[in-house]
Amino acid sequence: MRPFAEKFYASAAWKKTRAAYLQSVGGLCERCELRGLIEVATIVHHKVYLTEQNINDLEAALSWRNLEALCSECHNREHHGGEDEKCYSFAPDGSLRKRPPVQKIGRGGFNTGRGV
């Protein structure tokens, strides 16, 4: 974690927002769900990355429009790249099947008009 963000991530406002957002998506990784997979989300990711310039902007830091629930693998892939290691899943009948390839999901987000 970058030093400028330590206070924010330790704040009650972030902890409350994080918990509420995870609950709102059922605690599942949103990117895996798009691929038909069920993975527990362990991280609430900022689609528009927090910087020293926008960390105090509530729209960037706490708005659900800028959040995404991710499993650790999807979050690591977002920040460090790499291939999808989970290449197999179970079909509804219980048989093993090759999973569809990972679709690139852009960092997306929104524009607040305040340099986010």
SS3 of residue 7 by DSSP: helix
Res 76: pLDDT: 87
- Number of separate domains in the chain: 1
| Residues of the chain predicted below pLDDT 50 | 101-116
Domain that holds residue 10: 3-98
Residue in the block written with tokens 């400028």: 4
Reference 76, options 31, 33, 38; nearest CA is 31
The whole-model pTM stands at 0.69
Task: Examine residue 109 and state whether it is found in any structural domain, yes or no.
Answer: no
Q: Which tens digits make up the pLDDT trace of 92-104?
A: 677 666 555 444 4
Res 85: pLDDT: 52
Can you tell me the distance from the alpha carbon of 7 to that of 43, in angstroms, rounded to the nearest whole number?
A: 17
DSSP string, 58-84: HHHHT-GGGEEEE-HHHHHHHHH----
Task: Examine residue 112 and state whether it is found in any structural domain, yes or no.
Answer: no
Res 80: pLDDT: 78
